[in-house]
Every structure is written in structure tokens, then in C-alpha cells.
Structure 1
Amino acid sequence: MSDLDRLTRSLARNLRRWRGERGFTLDALAARAGVSRGMIIQIEQARTNPSVGTTVKIADALGVSLATLLDHEQGAQVRIVPQDQAVRLWSTPAGSRSTLLVGTEARGPLELWAWTLMPGDTGASDPHPPGTTELLHVTAGELTLVVDGEPYPVEAGASASFEADVAHSYRNDGARTVEMIMSVSVPPAR
């Protein structure tokens, strides 16, 4: 991927994220920024590279810096937490324990799921509403998490979080059954 393509995708992802967090409709952001609704749609779909002036207007309307809006690290889509980096919060000599596997800032509906994927199976999902985040923890096997066409291996004991407003799937490319727990956080309807 070229630097320009990476920048275009980062801008699209960050614009969707910040517009969702601010609760702005396309029309509201367009009016605040003084740019067309069509331009915002094209930017959010990574179909155009706007001028610096347009990007500054949008950043100002969102109340974020230009660096924040363009930062490819900002709001990374996928974060893998290896088992040894999970945080044990409580334990007893008898072996009881609680471990924070992975977390995210979220508000709105929250769902908890249990998944079993047999070898060779795939579960696919269309994009969820902007601002939707998924957290998952693999308890057995090795999951191949595919987010926006990019595969991420998630081993048993590891956890992941990602922004789920793009096409994504859960794949078992191995010979062992994959077991995982997953939560889905959907932003509140506005």
C-alpha cells in the first residue's frame, strides 16, 4: 500500500470515527465545515484525497487537530493483546482470579457472544454502524480475524479489539476447533 493510499484510508477511518463520536450527521458536518455533503461521503469512503484546506475545515468543524484527523495510528482498527499482556486484577492463593482481557471506550448497546468455528469454517459480517467496536478472546484454536480484507492471527489466550464499521470475518484455517467469546458495542442511536 502506498503512503497516499494509507493516508486516504486513515483519513476515511478517522473522519467516520470522529463524526460518529461527535454525533454529527453528514449534513450537520458539511454545514459546520463549509464543504459539500458529497465531499464528506467521498472522504469517508476513501474515494478522494481532499485538499489541505478542505481537510483543515473538517478538522476544525470536528474540534480535532489536523494531526489527529490524519494520524494513521489514531483509532487503530485492530489491537491484539497477547495472553501474557492481559492484566490480572485479582487473585487468591486458592487459584481464583479475574483478568481484564481487552477493553475499549464505548457507550450504547453491548452484546456478549460465544462462538465455535469448526476447521475450514468462516463467519462473515457486513459493516456495522460507524462507532461499533468488537472485542474478542480466543479460548481454543487459532482464529484468523479478517478486518477490511486484512488477516490477523489470534492465538488461544490472546484477545483483540477492532472498529467493526468495515466488512469483517472470523475464519478457522487450522485443524483444531476455534472457541471464542466476543462482545459487540454499538453506539447509541441519535
Structure 2
Amino acid sequence: MMVNMNAQMQALASSVRSLRLQRGLSTVELSRRAGVARATLAQIEASGGNPTLETLYALANALDAPLADLIATPRGAGAPRVVRSEEGPHVVGDAVEAWLLETVTSARASLEIYDVRLHGTTAQVSAAHPRGTQEHLHLHSGRVRVGPTAEAVELSAGDYISFDAGQEHVYQRLSGSDVRGTLLITRPGP
């Protein structure tokens, strides 16, 4: 995976400067509180240098902020999150291969979004999930048999299914072509 160090340094510079100003600190005062040379702080705020972890922790402590507040690339409201094809946490089953794209949790529910692919003709039989769990599949390519084991249906590219996953269910590739879709799993909150 390629990492854009320039973008990371710009995010660090922006975060340090923003937190310093929010706290009403001058560069001299932050430098003193953190025990970091003023030249080092100036270099960091100018998106330069390569600060050590110790330097970053010293700044975070002096700013009374978690380290993550300094180093995370802010997404902001509505900022895009990009997960490239075949990146992210990856799981493989008997017939299903999936990459986790995103998780969203609230007090009312949780949502997992996966990029899924089906291989071979073996059926992927899944045991019942906790009560209230729903699975939603939008099929992008190929043909599959999917749903509660006793009520599985055939889907073709473009089709969608939603079903109660609180019972045994199945995913099975029916076509020789690539089978790919987007799977959403929803669960009620605690």
C-alpha cells in the first residue's frame, strides 16, 4: 500500500497548529511545555521534518490531546473514505471471499459493508446469526442461489435480496462467470 508522506505531514502540521491555537498557546509556550526545540516545532508546523514518536507524544501531552488527534487524517463531515479493490480486512470461507469496506455503529444498529465474491460451486452454508440480524445482497455479476436454506432463491446480475440471517442461510455460485456483489449485514444495537 502506498502512503503519501507529504499528505500525512500536512495533516500533522495542520492538527498541531490547530490544537495549539485552540489552546491559546504560542509556539514558544508549546515548545516549552512539550520540551521540544522551537525549531523542531516550527519545522513540524511547516510540514517538514520527520518527528519521532517521542516528539509527537510530547506535543500531544502538552496539548492535552490524544496522539490520534495529531496523526489522523481528518475526514471531516462528508469527506470520502476510499478502500481500494482487494484491500481492507479479508475473510475467506468455503465458497465466499469478502473484504470489509466499512462498519457503522449507532445506539440503534450496526452495519457492515463487504465486497463479496463467490468461487466454485460449493455452497457456503452459514449458521444462524444473532436474532434481528439481516443480510442484504446486491449482485453485480453472475448468478447465485442465496437466502435462508429452506427458501433460497436464484439471483442474477442486478438483483437484490434481503433476508433474516437469524436462521441457517446459504450462498452458492450457479454460473461459470465471476460472481461479485455488495453485502450489507445489519444488527440491532445493544
Q: TM-score scaled to structure 1, two decimals? A: 0.41
Structure having greater relative contact order (Cα 8 Å, sep ≥ 6): 1
Q: TM-score scaled to structure 2, two decimals? A: 0.41
Structure exhibiting the larger radius of gyration computed from Cα positions: 2
